[in-house]
Structure 1
Amino acid sequence: MNQGAPLGVYDSGMGGLSVLAELRRALPHENFLYLGDTAHVPIGARPEDEIRDLTAQAVAALHARGAKGVVVACNTASAFSLTHLREKYPALPIIGLVPAVKPAVAATRTGVVGVLATPGTLRGTLLADVIRQFAEPAGVRVLTAVSAELVPLVEAGQAESGRTREVLRGALTPLAEAGADQLVLGCTHYPFLAAGIHSEFGDTFTLVDSGAAVARHTRRVLEERDLRSRVQEPGEVTYLVTGDAHVSAPVIATLTGQAGQNVTVQQVTT
């Protein structure tokens, strides 16, 4: 495998950009192929086999474009697809997400941890597994809040809108009232809601997500397989979407801190 090949990053939409930001900090000399399956977002309410099929198609598209590894930067896709993907691509490093329950359990002072999740993440096994592995032995209570509306709001570029804050109030107030002091962001779209959460709840919650940990793990995997880029120039990102590129471009620009700039986005089929 060529060390200079790009690293693929897949999400059902724009949420994986939060993971991409952490990957670029940890691996500044890597080139990235970011694929947002915006034609099918959100995927959380879809049947399990459809989630696996959509994820497999996206990974196949990244593999065909020469990706030396793929980060599945989507909690729902990770929950349903990692085993199948690793069986299909045994030579391709495939890295997924695990809800950040472990660090939240270690940090809580109240003994109550909240998880803001999507319907798909709650249906998968990964969240239940990490709760059973880390929270239950520590005697920590884990409460979940779910919303099917937050992902579409982020996708529409409304992460800080009044409607988004209204949805956050409804979803998170029960967790705050129950004493949760750590809030696990169980979807890669949710780090983009941090400002709204802090505005509504102040310092009630410490926000915990998987992005930085996934980036560190990805760096280790590339080093172990001798796949890290050897160039010294800053890496670049190629943005791919399955939906309308003209619609996605300004959202990507905003979420990546390039608002007002021309961001090139290519529409592809998977």
Structure 2
Amino acid sequence: MTSLSLNKLPFSSNKPPIGVFDSGVGGISVLKHIHALLPHEDLLYVADSKYAPYGSKTPAEITARCFEIADFLIAKNAKALVVACNTATAAAIDAMRAKYDLPIIGMEPAVKPAAAATKSGIIGVLATVGTLKSAQFAALLENYGRNVEVVTQACVGLVECIERGELTSQSTLELVQQYCKPLLEEGADTIVLGCTHYPFVRPLIEQTVGADVTLIDTGEAVARHLQKRLLALNLLADANEGNQLSEITFWTNSEIAQPQLIINQLWGKAAPVNFL
């Protein structure tokens, strides 16, 4: 298992950062919502791309990765953690909350808002194998899927395409078409993007499913939940303290060539990218 360097960053003690991580670059979709809502917060992001996708790992393996990354981010003075991965949330967030004494925000596929939005009574869920097999997802279906039909589709290989930065390639489009087809054939008029990677291929999904199908992801809701938790604990950065710009720093253990180019592409601008 990769060992993460625990050297502290020079963040001021009165403005500790928020740590965010995912099995790869997908959680950057959540990071963007957090930055938009909380522009004064310093953000740390770990892309655990060497071990992506988590959906092919056992719960014990995923929990071990989450513990190691959490230790890394806490050593960087993180005041809160966001597990920007549905699979990692399902496998490890209870163990993380038992181990660490700081706010830990997780993800879950948006079955509840999808059930409220559907007109046909049929919703589709695109997700990884690990998410669809999790007890957390089963509980979501039990709680919110009773009055609707839920059609699920595991999207094997799609995360890997996004990790390589292949957001508009023909092969990625063909995978999207392959995975959306069964949902459309079942009559789904609302589709949940149940992996934080998938918003980065949303244009391909929209192209495939058409304008009459509603797409739902949870990045914005997670950012709002994080804001409420930090406000309740008096941990929000002081927006009036000077005009200091927030700092966003990335780490990756990706083994592909020039992963910093992909991270900057997904983030939308240049940012420091470090290697674990």
Q: Give TM-score, length-normalised by structure 2.
A: 0.91
The alpha-carbon deviation at position 126 of structure 1 amounts to 1.6
The alpha-carbon deviation at position 246 of structure 1 amounts to 5.9
Per-residue Cα deviation, 1:55-108 (whole angstroms, up to 9, x for no partner) = 11111110111100100000000001011000101x211110011111110010
> Do residues 129 (structure 1) and 139 (structure 2) align?
yes
Of 254, 265, 270, the match for 2:273: 265
Separation in structure 2 between the aligned mates of residue 72 and residue 207 of structure 1, nearest angstrom: 22
Extract unaligned runs of 5+ from structure 1.
none
The alpha-carbon deviation at position 122 of structure 1 amounts to 1.1
Per-residue Cα deviation, 1:101-131 (whole angstroms, up to 9, x for no partner) = 1111001000000000101101212211111
Aligned pairs for 1:144-223 within 5 A: 144-223=152-231
2:4 corresponding residue in structure 1: none
Separation in structure 2 between the aligned mates of residue 40 and residue 135 of structure 1, nearest angstrom: 31
Separation in structure 2 between the aligned mates of residue 170 and residue 246 of structure 1, nearest angstrom: 28
> Do residues 38 (structure 1) and 49 (structure 2) align?
yes
Separation in structure 1 between the aligned mates of residue 187 and residue 249 of structure 2, nearest angstrom: 43
2:28 corresponding residue in structure 1: 17
Q: Work out whether residues 99 and 127 of structure 1, in 8 Å CA contact, stay in contact via their aligned partners in 2.
A: yes
Q: Work out whether residues 245 and 266 of structure 1, in 8 Å CA contact, stay in contact via their aligned partners in 2.
A: no
Separation in structure 2 between the aligned mates of residue 111 and residue 236 of structure 1, nearest angstrom: 44
The alpha-carbon deviation at position 3 of structure 1 amounts to 4.7
SS of the residue corresponding to residue 192 of structure 1 reads helix
Separation in structure 2 between the aligned mates of residue 201 and residue 23 of structure 1, nearest angstrom: 28
> Do residues 247 (structure 1) and 255 (structure 2) align?
no
The alpha-carbon deviation at position 2 of structure 1 amounts to 5.0
Q: Work out whether residues 239 and 264 of structure 1, in 8 Å CA contact, stay in contact via their aligned partners in 2.
A: yes
The alpha-carbon deviation at position 34 of structure 1 amounts to 0.4
Separation in structure 2 between the aligned mates of residue 244 and residue 177 of structure 1, nearest angstrom: 38
> Do residues 58 (structure 1) and 58 (structure 2) align?
no
Of 129, 132, 152, the match for 1:119: 129
> Do residues 8 (structure 1) and 19 (structure 2) align?
yes
Per-residue Cα deviation, 1:226-252 (whole angstroms, up to 9, x for no partner) = 100014433220111123596221101
SS of the residue corresponding to residue 199 of structure 1 reads helix
Separation in structure 2 between the aligned mates of residue 245 and residue 61 of structure 1, nearest angstrom: 22
Percent of pairs identical after alignment? Answer: 40
**After the TM superposition, which of the residue ranges 231-240 and 57-66 deviates more from structure 2?**
231-240
> Do residues 238 (structure 1) and 246 (structure 2) align?
no
Q: Work out whether residues 2 and 68 of structure 1, in 8 Å CA contact, stay in contact via their aligned partners in 2.
A: no
> Which stretches of structure 1, 4 residues or longer, exceed 6 Å deviation after superposition?
none
Number of equivalent positions? 262
Per-residue Cα deviation, 1:136-157 (whole angstroms, up to 9, x for no partner) = 1xx1000001112100000000
Extract unaligned runs of 5+ from structure 2.
1-11
SS of the residue corresponding to residue 184 of structure 1 reads strand
SS of the residue corresponding to residue 144 of structure 1 reads strand
The aligned amino acid for 2:208 is E
Q: Give TM-score, length-normalised by structure 1.
A: 0.93
SS of the residue corresponding to residue 44 of structure 1 reads helix
Q: Work out whether residues 180 and 208 of structure 2, in 8 Å CA contact, stay in contact via their aligned partners in 1.
A: no
Separation in structure 2 between the aligned mates of residue 24 and residue 263 of structure 1, nearest angstrom: 13
> Do residues 68 (structure 1) and 68 (structure 2) align?
no
Q: Work out whether residues 125 and 192 of structure 2, in 8 Å CA contact, stay in contact via their aligned partners in 1.
A: yes
